[in-house]
Structure 1
Amino acid sequence: MYEPNVVGDWQEYDDEHAGLRVRVHGLEKAEPPRGRDDAAEGLVYFRFRVTVENRTTDSFGIHLEDGQIDIRVGGDGESAFLDWRNSQFIEGFDVYPLRRVTSVLYAAAPEGCLPLVDIQVQLKVDDEWTGRYLWSGGIGPHDASVPVGARPDSAMDSLAAQVISFLEREAGQGPAS
């Protein structure tokens, strides 16, 4: 089964883009530098970064704009507002070996939806589309966030409890659930 990345994790590319990796990180509440967009009235702003790293001996032309990013918030996966005017995209930047390029993006959503934020990214590398990857995270009280497919019925559904359970199963010390 496909598992999303956690915000902050690197995702390695395979095949023709082997050696490139990307991550979504720095998810936090933040006001945009050029002021709020009128379309975001009543919403809470947040920002995140998308970093692409080249670990090969070749250079790659990287392109990342608003149509290549999808942000969903809350348990129902509602679309967040991406503020393209305040965001800094990557537009045809050549990333040389052992270098990185970072895009800073601003979005807005209802405050109650921020504990669960999913960000999907699809890069364009040398005029070819890469695979889509998903990062999941949240802002604020993380007790309210629920991993994909889980039900918030008990304390055992928290991310920390799932990690502990997984580690115990791997070590052969805990119950298999």
Structure 2
Amino acid sequence: MYEPNVVGDWQEHDEHAGLRVRVHSLEAAEPPRGRDDAAVGLTYFSVRVTVENRGARHFSVQLEDGQIDVRVGSDGEGAFIDWRNSQFIEGFDVYPLRRATAVIYAAGPEAALTQVDVQVQLRVDEEWTDRRLWAGGIGLLEEPVAAASAAAGPGSLAHQVSVFLKDLEDQTEPGTA
């Protein structure tokens, strides 16, 4: 196992020249075909796994259930993976300068989603690659109201723009020019 990547980073596969993988777009999202009954009380999120071929020949890529493991929270609890709503890469030929993307829908306790680890093991041309790990999180617990009020404080750009526009409006009122 190599050092974990940050969600969004590309990881080259040395054993297959030109092939690289990225786990990205980790975000809160409801599944397209509805929630699974087993996910009651859990918060859904999605993550994308993209395989890109920058090499000179095509690779047959497979990324299905059992090849992706999603863990949440500081204790690394297994997330519920909604296989019915997820879209996998099943024996797809990725030609040079092309990509294939899998979309995984998973769910976990909302408090644990600030730390999400995704481990991927591709099968390329009937051979297993080394496992790779990506680490990230979803900022669901941030307080948007507190952030918005802090962002609109006297020294903020939003406040400066408001003052500028008010001054501009005062200058263009009838009788002030």
**Is the pair's TM-score, using the shorter chain for normalization, greater than 0.5?**
yes
Q: Which residue number in structure 2 is paired with residue 37 of structure 1?
A: 36
Q: For structure 2, list consecutive stretches of 5 or more residues without a partner in the other structure.
A: 143-177
**TM-score (ref. length: structure 1):** 0.78
Q: 1:32-87 CA distances to partner (integer Å, 9 max, x unpaired)?
A: 00000001010000001000000111001010011000111001000000100000
Between structure 1 and structure 2, the one with the greater Rg is 2
What's the offset of the Cα at 1:3?
2.2
Structure 1 residue aligned with 2:50? 51
Alignment of 1:72-87 (within 5 A): 72-87=71-86
Q: Once superposed, which parts of structure 1, at least 4 consecutive aligned residues long, lie more than 4 Å away? A: none
Aligned twin of 2:170: none
Distance in 1, matches of 2:122 and 2:3, equals: 19
Q: Percent identity?
A: 75
Unaligned runs of 5+ in 1: 144-177
The amino acid that maps onto 1:14 is: D
Q: Which amino acid aligns with 1:115?
A: T
**Aligned partners of 1:2 and 1:41: how far apart in 2?**
35
**Mapping of residues 145-156 of structure 1, within 5 Å:** none
Aligned partners of 1:20 and 1:54 also within 8 Å: yes
- The CA RMSD measured in Å over matched residues stands at 1.5
Scaled by the length of structure 2, the TM-score of the pair is 0.78
- Counterpart CA distance in 1 for 2:89 and 2:12 is 19
Alignment: residue pair count: 142
Q: Do 1:66 and 1:82's aligned partners in 2 also have CA atoms closer than 8 Å?
A: no
Tell me whether 1:122 sits opposite 2:121 in the alignment: yes
Equivalent residue letter for 2:58: S
Question: 1:59 corresponds to which letter in structure 2?
Answer: H
> Does the 8 Å contact 2:111/2:141 carry over to 1?
no
8 Å CA contact retained: 2:2, 2:133: no
Paired with 1:124 and 1:141, the residues of 2 have a C-alpha distance of 33
